[in-house]
Structure 1
Amino acid sequence: MGLISEVLLLPFAPVRGSAWAVRQVLQEAERIYYDPATIRAELARLEELLEAGEITEEEFDRQEDELLDRLETATRTGAGSGDGTAR
């Protein structure tokens, strides 16, 4: 039955391959998004923007809360590699 189903599903191989590629890209994007080193770098950049007067205190607080939530999620789930690089 395996050979017959493979032959019948052969026309859908490009769709299955595309779905796999999309899943791989999504996993890599999530790994980078939840990488603690990346989040810490974004926090440092956010502080620089505040000190330079490019963002308001309210905007800083809002973005900082979002980044800290991401960092908490990353440390709780063990997401990201911690080296800040995209592989």
Structure 2
Amino acid sequence: KSDAAWRTAATGSNVSSANTPGEVDMAKDIENPCISVCQLSGDLCVSCGRTKDDIRKWKRMKRPEKMAAVQRAAQRMKSLQKKSG
């Protein structure tokens, strides 16, 4: 997929019916780490730290999954900053 397609997947507004309304509402309060400057290096976006898989699944993730994805992304970004700085 193109960077634009991944960005659309990351920021789209459709929510899977697999989540119940309460789960969707609770998951919405987890802020998406996407900064709309997708720069993919392999399977990793070096702008937000998420993997292509995390980006693709974001809309369908429940709150605990989103929290874990955000934590993993933050760790990756820290690691990338150490390497470049």
TM-score, normalising length: structure 2: 0.34
Q: Which has the larger radius of gyration?
A: 1
> Which protein is richer in helix relative to its size?
1
Relative to its length, the structure with more strand (as a share) is 2
More contact order relative to length (CA 8 Å, sep ≥ 6): 1
TM-score when scaled to structure 1?
A: 0.34
